[in-house]
Structure 1
């Protein structure tokens, strides 16, 4: 298995450039990293094969697709057991309205991220999605007033 420490400077440049613009052509990418197009393509294929690149996707403008309000929801379960965790995970994975869900250490069990149209849509999301998840005892919601930084770019 290849580790991050096995990557050289050129591999890291490829990862950095592709994070910024995954639509860049191989020719343009090769120019940016000062390497031949063939060598660049081979390295990119290897980075994909070795799992450093999980996928390529378009980043949509949330407000343009009716999802302008960003909310985070803390969820506390009524009890914790392998069965509840599994049922909760299964339900979350099937909800397209839940963008991210993380089991966390601390005063609650899960942190959920979602985008909705507005507060009315959030109320529907809360009642129709969040409160129907298995084992939910308590929730605390944080509606985002201003997004200061939103990036998927990892330092490499």
Structure 2
């Protein structure tokens, strides 16, 4: 069963979701608690596996990686998900992997330098994995939103 978070925990998470590099002393001021409280609560949430680390957000297009795509994957046997996952995980350009319901067994997100790079990733790496029956690719034209839930009293 999931640990129940209180208003202080949620305020801490919301502040760090906006800026993961914010010093705990600043988070503490915004949450109305001591920096020791922030350290203790973050440690407890990390130990419980609720917080698994911090990430760096990057704008791939500004770095020359102009193509992002979602790829729906049909497996020949759904029981082979783990084996396919292990192979997909080895492809550096695959940044997200989801086990899904509906039309596809899996959905992945891929970043590529250009269309030819995407073709190489799909043709030479993804589609050669055993148990992948077929794929369907959806190009992303523009990511409009990428965020965490910002918790407040209305979400608890």
**TM bucket by the smaller chain?**
0.7 to 0.9
* 1:87 to partner: Cα distance: 2.0
1:23 matched residue in structure 2: 21
1:35 matched residue in structure 2: 33
* 1:155 to partner: Cα distance: 4.1
* 1:116 to partner: Cα distance: 0.8
- Separation in 1, partners of 2:55, 2:103: 34
- The runs of 4+ residues in structure 1 deviating greater than 4 Å are none
Structure 1 stretches lacking a partner, 5+ long: none
Structure 2 stretches lacking a partner, 5+ long: 152-156
* 1:148 to partner: Cα distance: 2.0
Structure 1 pair 62/15, CA: closer, same or farther in 2 (3 Å)?
A: same
Is 1:73–1:141's contact at 8 Å kept on the other side of the alignment? yes
Q: Does 1:70 align with 2:68?
A: yes
**TM-score normalised to structure 1 length:** 0.87
SS of 1:70's equivalent in the other structure is strand
Is 2:78–2:105's contact at 8 Å kept on the other side of the alignment? no
Question: Would you say how many aligned residue pairs link Structure 1 and Structure 2?
Answer: 151
Over the aligned positions, Cα root-mean-square deviation in angstroms equals: 1.7
Is 1:91–1:134's contact at 8 Å kept on the other side of the alignment? no
**TM-score normalised to structure 2 length:** 0.87
1:8 matched residue in structure 2: 6
Is 2:99–2:105's contact at 8 Å kept on the other side of the alignment? yes
* 1:2 to partner: Cα distance: 5.1
